[in-house]
Each structure stands twice: as structure tokens, then as C-alpha cells.
Structure 1
């Protein structure tokens, strides 16, 4: 009887390339500079599509965020797009929305669902922003995954 090598298990902390790049960008910086990078992301939040802008009722409020953040995830041709709105007056929250929107763009539904739930804690901001803000980003990610599951079930 021959012993076959065990097939490697998928790494539960593996990230899609774009999210891994974003995480690494943060972790390469000293902690004080990470907040500045988050603020830069806040200026890069992709605009929502014309359809979502014309029909804001399509979006879901992220209750975990203190600021009014609304998201809508679209699945088309096996690619996910995250539409998000967040006020300019809430740059950290807007930055988190931008990170997720940019990091999720173009992923397959399975790749989105495989994003580790602790991704918000992995980017090195837990000592730079309040736990409430990290909780808000976690809420965005959980709602995004729930919406993808709902789109797949429909």
C-alpha cells in the first residue's frame, strides 16, 4: 500500500490578490502612517453605478457603521461588484468602504465568500482607529457576503 501525500488544505487566511496587496500596503507602513493611507483610500471610493444612484432603495444600510454607509453587491458574469456610499465627513468609514469595493471588484462569488472574516483586523489598523470603526468594516464585509449568498440563491 502506497502512502499518498495529503492534499494541502486551503489557507483560511489566504486573500485574493488585490486584498492581499492592500493589506501589505498597510502593514509595510509604520502605524502612524497607516491612518494617512486609509484617508487616501477614502478619496478613491469608486462611484456607484448610474442604476444604483437612480435606485438607492437597492442598497442596504450597514447598521454597524456610525456613519450612514450603504452597500449593494452585484453579481454578473461570475464577477462581483460592490457599490458603496459613505459621507465625505466620515473619512475612515469611507476608506474602509473603498478598500472593500476595490478589493472585491471582479472577484468571483466564491472568492468573495472565502475572504476571511477577520480581514478588517488583519490590515494593521486596530491600534490606529477605534474598535467601533473596525467593527463597522467587519459589518460591511459580513453584509457583502450575505448579499452575495442571496444573489447566488436567487
Structure 2
């Protein structure tokens, strides 16, 4: 499945949920299903700045593909960041760079986030994109 197809599938899944509170319940359930990061990664090297809660993003690059793990002490933050890491993990850097996460606004997620959470989410995307750009230079 291409990254574009995966994004479209996620948009379809989230669009079915019309009620914003139910959509966030889905996002929270997603967060609860995510494996927590090992404590060794919960440090300033992986911390996302600009977010009111603690949020960490751990990138890796294997066999020409980028992978991302995330964790947070706030379940909504973890869930929304998790949507991004689940979407972009397992794809080539050029694919990641070509598809920004504007779908979250399309399905009404970002409109219901506090400014601090929107800022944190934006910083997650910036880190994902910067890592993909770095990997592209390494290939």
C-alpha cells in the first residue's frame, strides 16, 4: 500500500466518525493500544519542544525506510502523534516528504486541539520531515 493510499484509508476511517468527541475517543483508544517507549528514550534528545505535555519521538532508518515511535504523558497527545507515526512508519523518505499531515484538519482533528497541542503536533511533523530529509541525503 502506498503512503497516499494509507492516508486516504485513515481519512476514510476518521471521516466516518462524525461526532468530534467520538473521534477523540477513537484517538484515545489508539493511544492506549500503542506500546510505550522504553524509559531510555524519554529524554531531551527525543523530546518534542513546544508541547505542554511530555512528548517524545524516536526515529529510525532501516532498509531505505523511516520508522517512528512516539509516547506522551497525555493520552490525546499520544493518540494524535501516534496517528502520524503510524501513518509515516515504513515508508521511504521521499514519500514522507511529499505527503504532509494536512488530512488531520480535513477530518476535523486539529480544529479541536488546544493551541499548545496544535503546536506540538506541528513540531512532530517537522521532526518527521526533517528526519526523512536527513535520511534522503544519506541514501
Q: Which TM bucket (shorter chain)?
A: 0.7 to 0.9
Partner Cα separation in structure 2 for residue 131 and residue 24 of structure 1? 25
1:45 is matched with: 34
CA contact (8 A) 1:73 1:147 kept: yes
TM-score, normalised to structure 2, is 0.81
- What is aligned with 1:79? 65
**Structure 2 residue aligned with 1:110:** 94
Name the structure 1 match of 2:130.
Answer: 146
Q: TM-score, normalized by length of structure 1? A: 0.74
Alpha-carbon offset, residue 98 of structure 1: 1.2
1:18 is aligned to 2:6: yes
What is the number of residues matched between the two proteins? 136
Kindly tell me: are residues 59 and 104 of structure 1, through their superposed partners in 2, closer, same or farther at Cα, counting changes over 3 Å? farther
The Cα of 1:117 is off from its aligned counterpart by 4.8
Question: For 1:34, which of 23, 29, 49 is the aligned residue?
Answer: 23
Residue 16 of structure 1 aligns to a residue in which SS?
A: helix
**Which of the two has higher C-alpha Rg?**
1
Q: Secondary structure of the equivalent of 2:112? A: coil
Give the aligned CA root-mean-square deviation in angstroms.
Answer: 2.5
Give yes or no for contact 1:121–1:134 (8 Å, CA) kept in 2. no
> Stretches of 4+ moved more than 6 A in 1?
none
More helix by proportion, 1 or 2?
A: 2
Where does residue 133 of structure 1 map in the other structure?
Answer: 117
